[in-house]
Structure formats: C-alpha cells, structure tokens
C-alpha cells in the first residue's frame, strides 16, 4: 500500500476563493482526485497545497444556450454520460465519458480533471522504487525532490530524445476537439477562452497551455444545424475498466448525403491529440464503405504510436486502422 504524502487540502466555496488559493506557488487542483491522488502516492508531484473544487458549486452542471452546450469543469463524468442534453447534442461526448474507467470512478471523476489529465507513460506511472531502479527521465525528474535519480535527462521511449512523448490518455479530449469545443480558462486576474485543441502543447512533461494559477472553468460545444454523425472508439485491454491504448473521435456533417465537414482526432500517440488530415479525401463524398477504408488507411499512414504506453506500438497502429474503419462503417449504416 503506497502512503499519501501529508499535503494540506484547502476547500474553498467560491470560485474567487479557489482562484486566490491557486495563485499560491506550488498549489494544485484536486477535483475528483481519481488521477492526481494515485500519482501523488507514486511520488509524481509534491504540491504545496491541494485546492479541492468539491464545494465550488459554480463549476458544476450542463446547460444549453443559443451557442450550444456549456459544461462546468466540476461536472462528474457520470453526469456528462447520462445528461439528456449531452446525449442529444454531442452523443460522442456522452459515449467517451461513459467509457472512462468504472462507474465508481466516473461518479467521482470530473470533466475538468479529464480534460486536464496528466500524460501517461509506462516508464513513469510506476512507484518511485520502480522508477529508481532504471533511473529517472525527463518527466519524472523534478516531480519528487526526495528521489535522486541517476539519469534525470533521458527518455526511455525515444533514446536521445530531448522532449517527453508521454501520451495524452483522456477519453473526452479527442471528442471535444472533433466537436470544435472551446475551453473557458480563469486565473485571479481574469478569464479567457481558447479552442480546446490549443489547450495542449507537444511536451509530455507539461502538456497543458495553462499558466501557474490558471484553471479550467468549463468547456463549450457549439450547436450545429443539419445532419451529423459522430462516434468515439477506444481500444483497451479490459472493457470494464481501462485507459485507452489508442482512441479516435470521428465527426461527419452531411448535406443531402454529401460530407460538408469531417474530423478524425486520434488520442494516445504523443502529448497532444493528432488531427488526421481527412478533409481533402472526404469532403463532397457520401459516408460509405469506400470512404471507411480510405480514411482508415489515412489514419494508419499519418499516426505512428510509440512505445510509451503498454502494448506494442505496431499493434496499436493496426488497431487504430481497424477501429476507424469499423466506426465509419457503423456510421454509414446509421446514415
Ligand atoms: C483504475 C483507473 C482507470 C482509469 N481509466 C481511465 C480511462 O479509461 N480513461 C480516462 O480518460 N481516464 C481514466 N482514469 C483517470 C481518471 O479517473 C479520469 O481521467 C478522470 O476524469 C480524472 O478526473 P478527476 O476529477 O478525478 O481529476 P483529478 O485526479 O482530481 O485531477 C487530474 C488533473 O487535472 C487537474 N485538474 C482537475 N480539475 C482541473 C481544473 N478545473 N482546471 C485545471 N486543472 C484541473 C488536477 O490538478 C490534476 O493534475 C482512470 C483512473 C483509474 C484510477
Ligand atoms: S516519454 Fe520519455 S521522458 Fe516522457 S515519461 Fe516516458 S520515458 Fe519519461
């Protein structure tokens, strides 16, 4: 049993209080705690304070306005997965939320925690003892000041690599990007919005474009007129409880049977999701078997998984092709 370090936990009741606590150096957010607490037990991080969002009611809930869906960062994944509005307006988001972990975890886990989930790597999501036997790496160095690793500057996935390629493994993120969602971000000095795709940078040590003291308030998914087909698919070892080993979000908008918009966003490659360039091949065509095969080939050609999470990279790449083809075939049947 790994013990949790003694870290003070602050429980603000308002957003203003939470932002002011978060402005303190070394403070980190504790949302559902389903990822940050296991990580802290493994010596991944040593925050000065954990700022719990549990009592900040303003961060919870799903609402519908003229612009579309608004979901607060503190909304649980169970609420996202079961919300009638999410199922109606963004069914692939409900599907992705439903696919996270297990029912008990989804009851605690929040959408904000999923969107801001730390990257994962088979060499880092281990105990300090395990990591110490091999030496540290670009990501684990500095996460636990008490561990003194011999090889702090190396990457075990890309030997000689200067940038960490730990994988973004959150299920809702590829979907939100495929749906053109925007993020609402706040700090003690103000609020701003950015396209969700721009929230992620290509560095697995810290893949979020958030400044210290900033937090995610929520995400907005725009409304759309006309016919749309969307789906989220993930490959994992245990269907009942597991992180994705490769995943894909698909979205197709149609007018009179021809595609006017197409998105294919792939997760668990590197530190940020990859948007496969599908528009040139897809636009103007019907959603059919031929397109399913072509887009699956495109995904296979453009996406190259690394040995950063369990299972061979080559097999994950093969599974991506299978998942994308089957998903489009199923959507074509619906259409
Ligand atoms: C057994 C197991 C299986 C799992 N399977 C999956 C899976 O299949 N798919 C998946 O995606 N995840 C999985 N997870 C990880 C995790 O449960 C989910 O990603 C969950 O959504 C995290 O949300 P949380 O509220 O618990 O986040 P926390 O653990 O509280 O926080 C996660 C990170 O986000 C930051 N954070 C939280 N809220 C905000 C905010 N509003 N603004 C800025 N930063 C914030 C925290 O500081 C922390 O760094 C699994 C976890 C376990 C233990
Ligand atoms: S990708 Fe390399 S640097 Fe990043 S966590 Fe894995 S081993 Fe460490």
Q: What are the pLDDT digits (tens) for 117-144? A: 999 999 999 988 888 888 889 998 867 6
Position 326 in a domain: yes
* CATH at 319: 3.30.390.50
* CATH at 137: 3.30.465.10
Same domain, 329 and 305: yes
Distance 195 CA to ligand 2 centre (A): 27
Tokens of 190: 């103000």
Distance 290 CA to ligand 1 centre (A): 38
Of the pLDDT bands very low, low, confident and very high (cuts 50, 70, 90), residue 152 is low
Tell me the per-residue pLDDT of 283-312, one tens digit each, with 9 for 90 and over.
999 999 999 999 999 999 999 999 999 999
Question: H helices of the chain, where?
Answer: 15-22, 36-41, 77-82, 84-89, 91-98, 103-108, 111-115, 128-134, 172-178, 279-282, 289-302, 313-334
Tokens of 189: 């000095």
Distance 123 CA to ligand 2 centre (A): 6
Whether the per-residue pLDDT at 244 is higher than 80: the answer is yes
Same domain, 217 and 70: yes
Q: Is 34 in the pocket of ligand 1 (CB under 6 A)?
A: yes
Please identify, among 223, 253, 276, the residue that sits at the C-terminal boundary of a domain.
223
Position 103 in a domain: yes
Q: What is the pTM of this model?
A: 0.97
Tell me the per-residue pLDDT of 201-221, one tens digit each, with 9 for 90 and over.
999 999 999 999 999 999 999
Q: How many domains does the chain have?
A: 2
Instruction: Phi first, then psi: give them for residue 201, nearest 5 degrees.
Output: -115, 165
pLDDT of residue 285: 97
Position 7 in a domain: no
- CA atoms within 13 Å, Cβ hemisphere of 51: 23
Residues with Cβ within 8 Å of 126's Cβ and at least 6 positions away in sequence, in order, are 42
Same domain, 87 and 184: yes
Distance 119 CA to ligand 2 centre (A): 10
Whether the per-residue pLDDT at 230 is higher than 60: the answer is yes
Whether the Cβ atoms of residue 205 and residue 138 lie closer than 8 Å to each other:
yes
Following CA atoms 294, 298, 300, 304 in sequence, which dihedral angle do they give, to the nearest 10 degrees?
Answer: 180
Q: Whose CA is nearest to atom 43 of ligand 1?
A: 215
Mean pLDDT of the chain, nearest integer = 95
Of the pLDDT bands very low, low, confident and very high (cuts 50, 70, 90), residue 81 is very high
Ligand 2 site, CB within 6 A: 121, 123-124, 137-139, 155-157, 164-166, 204, 308
Position 130 in a domain: yes
Same domain, 75 and 207: yes
Q: Whose CA is nearest to atom 5 of ligand 1?
A: 101
Q: Which tops the pLDDT comparison, 32 or 145?
A: 32
What Cα–Cα distance (Å) separates residue 279 from each residue in 123, 248, 253, 260, 301?
36, 16, 11, 9, 15
Same domain, 60 and 112: yes
Provide the domain limits for residue 179: 56-223
């Amino acid at each position: 049993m790994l013990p949790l370090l003694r870290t003070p936990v602050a429980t603000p009741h308002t957003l203003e209080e939470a932002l002011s606590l978060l402005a303190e150096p070394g403070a980190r957010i504790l949302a559902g705690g389903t990822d940050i607490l296991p990580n802290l037990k493994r010596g991944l991080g040593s925050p000065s304070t954990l700022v719990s969002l549990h009592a900040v009611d303003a961060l919870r809930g799903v609402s519908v306005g003229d612009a579309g869906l608004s979901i607060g960062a503190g909304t649980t994944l169970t609420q996202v997965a079961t919300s009638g509005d999410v199922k109606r307006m963004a069914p692939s988001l409900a599907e992705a939320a439903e696919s996270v972990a297990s029912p008990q975890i989804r009851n605690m886990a929040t959408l904000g925690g999923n969107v801001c989930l730390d990257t994962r790597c088979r060499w880092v999501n281990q105990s300090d003892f395990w990591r110490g036997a091999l030496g540290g790496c670009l990501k684990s160095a500095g996460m636990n000041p008490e561990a003194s690793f011999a090889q702090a500057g190396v990457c075990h996935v890309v030997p000689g690599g200067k940038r960490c390629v730990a994988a973004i493994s959150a299920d809702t993120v590829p979907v939100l990007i495929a749906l053109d969602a925007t993020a609402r971000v706040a700090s003690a000095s103000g609020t701003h919005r950015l396209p969700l795709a721009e929230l992620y940078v290509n560095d697995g040590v810290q893949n979020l474009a958030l400044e210290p003291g900033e937090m995610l308030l929520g995400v907005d998914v725009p409304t759309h007129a006309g016919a749309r087909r969307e789906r989220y698919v993930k490959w994992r070892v245990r269907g009942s409880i597991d992180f994705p080993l490769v995943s894909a979000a698909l979205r197709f908008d149609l007018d009179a049977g021809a595609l006017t918009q197409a998105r294919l966003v792939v997760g668990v490659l590197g530190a940020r999701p990859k948007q496969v360039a599908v528009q040139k091949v897809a636009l103007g065509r019907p959603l059919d078997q031929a397109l399913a095969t072509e887009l699956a080939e495109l995904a296979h050609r453009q996406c190259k998984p690394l040995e950063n999470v369990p299972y061979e990279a080559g097999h994950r790449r093969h599974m991506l092709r299978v998942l994308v083809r089957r998903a489009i075939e199923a959507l074509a049947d619906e259409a």
